[in-house]
Structure 1
Amino acid sequence: MNLSLPVAELTALLLASVRAAAWLMISPPFNTNVIPAQIKALLSVAIALPVVPSIVGKVPALDTAAMVVSLAEQVVLGTALGFLTALLFAAVQAAGSLIDLFGGFSLAFAFDPMGATGNGGSGVFGRFYNLVAITLLFATDGHQLVLRGFTTSYNVLPLNGTLSLSNLQHLLTDGIVEMFAASLQIAGPLIAVLFCADIGLGLLSRVAPALNAFSLGFPVKILLTLTGVGLAMTMLPLAVENLVDKAVKAVMQAIGS
């Protein structure tokens, strides 16, 4: 009995899975270490399976050189689309890092720099904001919008399609600007409060040096930071929703849709 394998379908599945795997390694919320590598590999195959019938006619020539070039193109394309998404979502963690800096929570890294490296170089609120953003993505089904935006790339840029580098360059530049602007919008009000607290403590130390405003400043800033973060949590879901919309639009523009 002769066993015939659908070579074109298997090749399309392989190339589409490579693109999905490269995207899953970088794009939030799937880039977290909480998801094992085996699950990401299976998920990449699950993403590629539904699109195989539409891309099987775009399979490159079945020779070594063409396959190597196509595999490299899929890795670059998946990485680029994942980086665009991750760049915008980095605004949430950047906002938390700004709060750590102005609130004094990043001071621990000055005493334990190796501990900062082990924690990914992020402070308390940097990790907390990142965890809350990932939770909100899954709770509000935002990950499905991000995933749908990526799967659209198989229709617009099939296996023999190429990504416009000039368009990607402009999107990366705009994405960096959007990231810094969004992080300032999220953390800006609390930073202003902490800055005013620093000014007030500085004036207090000049007026009444005996109060030792330096030692008094630590519990005061901790209290203000925790209170401000608690109040700002109500605005974070809207910020994450806006970031999801911007990330999907950026991916659509990158693939020319």
Structure 2
Amino acid sequence: MNLSFPAAEFTALLLASVRAAAWLTISPPFNSNVVPAQVKALLSVAIALPVVPSLVNKVPSLDDTAGLVVSVAEQVVVGTALGFLTALLFAAVSAAGNLIDLFGGMSLAFAFDPMGSAGNGGSGIFGRFYNLIAVTLLFVTDGHQLVLRGFTTSYNVLPLDGTLSLRNLEHLVTTGVAEMFLSAIQIAGPLIAVLFCADIGLGLLSRVAPALNAFSLGFPVKIMLTLGGVGLAMTMLPQAVGSLVDKSVKAVLEAIGA
């Protein structure tokens, strides 16, 4: 009994899984440490399996070792670049939370804990809270399926023998950084303005009536305003996350030339 080994199919599955694994390592919501590495490996294979038939004719021969190594490196670069574009825009939510921590005085305890800062991923209280809410909203609104569909489109538009345009990628990264800062300011801007006005009011009150010691009330007042403002801002966060999902998918499609 002779058994034939599907070399082309196996090579296509391997290369497609490498691209998916590189993307899952960086792209939210799958880049979290909550998702084990074994699960990410299985997910990468699951993502690659449906597209293997369309990629069989785009793989190098198993006898071409140099071509295989180059192709693996190309898939890592493509997956990492697409994942970075997605993560760059979603970083706006965490950045907005960090701005609230800074202006609301919530980052003081975080600054006094240098050993714990490394384990917290460099984010304060509301930075981590906003990031957790954004990931939850991604799953609740099925935004993760839209992000995943945008990535799987890359196998059709940019097959295993295709490469990304570096000039186009440079433009998208530059635009993505600007979009990230703009989105972070739009999310946290109203609350930052309220906290800034509260600081001005406390400063004027301290000048008018020094005996009141207005700055002793500064922390309780700012904490109350921060918690109240964040509670109101939660109603607008689903819309902001939906907008970021659309922008990230468009950026990925533009990067692959779709």
Q: Scaled by the length of structure 2, what TM-score is found?
A: 0.98
Q: Quick check: 1:43 aligned with 2:47? A: no
Number of matched pairs = 257
Q: Given residue 118 of structure 1, which amino acid in structure 2 is its aligned partner?
A: G
% identical aligned pairs:
83
Task: Report the Cα distance in structure 1 between the residues aligned to 2:92 and 2:12, rounded to whole angstroms.
Answer: 35
Quick one: which amino acid aligns to residue 228 of structure 2? T
Q: Deviations over 1:138-178 (max 9, x none)?
A: 00000000000000000011010010000000000000000
Q: What are the superposed Cα offsets for residues 23-78 of structure 1, whole Å, 9 maximum, x if unpaired? A: 00000010011111100000000000000001111011321100000000000000
In structure 2, C-alpha distance between the alignment counterparts of 1:117 and 1:204, rounded to whole Å: 39
Q: Distance between the aligned counterparts of 1:172 and 1:28, measured in 2?
A: 17
For structure 1, which segment, 25-34 or 1-10, has the greater mean C-alpha deviation from structure 2 after superposition? 1-10
Question: Unpaired runs of 5+ in structure 2?
Answer: none
Letter in 2 for 1:247: S
Task: Give yes or no for contact 2:94–2:127 (8 Å, CA) kept in 1.
Answer: yes
Distance 1:117 1:50 in 2: 39
CA distance in 2, matches of 1:171, 1:44: 25
Give the aligned residue type for 2:41: A
CA distance in 2, matches of 1:82, 1:254: 11
- 2:50 alignment partner AA: P
1:214: how far off? Answer: 2.1
Q: Is the 8 A contact 2:8 2:61 kept in 1?
A: no
Aligned to 1:18: 18
Partner amino acid for 1:120? G
RMSD: 0.8
Distance in 2 (CA, whole Å) between partners of 1:212 and 1:9 is 75
How many angstroms does 1:197 deviate by?
0.3
Map 1:1-80 onto structure 2 (within 5 A). Answer: 1-62=1-62, 63-80=64-81
Tell me, which stretches of 5 or more residues in structure 1 are unaligned? none
Q: Say whether the 8 Å CA contact 1:60–1:159 is kept in structure 2.
A: no
Q: Shift of the alpha carbon at 1:206?
A: 1.1
